[in-house]
Amino acid sequence: MASVNGLQSIKSYRLTGTVTRGRIVKADGVSGGIAAAAQATGAGEYLLGVALTSGVAGDIIDVQLLGNCPFSVAAAVIDPGKFVTADANGKLVAAASGDRIVGIILSGATDTGATADGVVCELNLQHSIFP
């Protein structure tokens, strides 16, 4: 179930709710399942990575845990090089003090390399950490 492709680390998880491809997912209870991430402020959310496919509760999907993910979805304008976390919909937003960081934006689709709401961007996934 787990695989490593260069620096990319991918693992399969059972969904406990609906998840959309390109959104951030979180650990969901002791069952080992995952769900769409919600606002990742403070210690409440344990962000895992990016869903590689969409699915509903009970489905097993692959999640990218580390490495560069070229199809993460942003929720707002984020400049390349900024630390990011998840919003209430599992989209990427700039991290603030106290937020869990899921990674760093590498590039977006605008002419400046920034992102915008709903824009697919490249994310360098890192372990869920505090800034």
Mean pLDDT per block of 10 residues along the chain (131 residues) reads 55 90 84 73 71 93 91 88 89 87 84 75 78 51
pLDDT score of 1: 40
Domain boundary residue, one of 43, 67, 91: 67
Q: Are residues 56 and 95 in the same domain?
A: no
Domain ends where: 13, 46, 67? 67
Are 100 and 129 contacting, i.e. CB atoms less than 8 angstroms apart? Answer: yes
Res 39: pLDDT: 61
Q: Which amino acid is at 6?
A: G
Q: What is the pLDDT of residue 128?
A: 60
Domain around 30:
3-67
Residues 7 and 61 occupy one common structural domain: yes
Which pTM does this prediction carry?
A: 0.83
Does one domain contain both 62 and 76?
A: no
Closest C-alpha among 110, 111, 107 to residue 121: 107
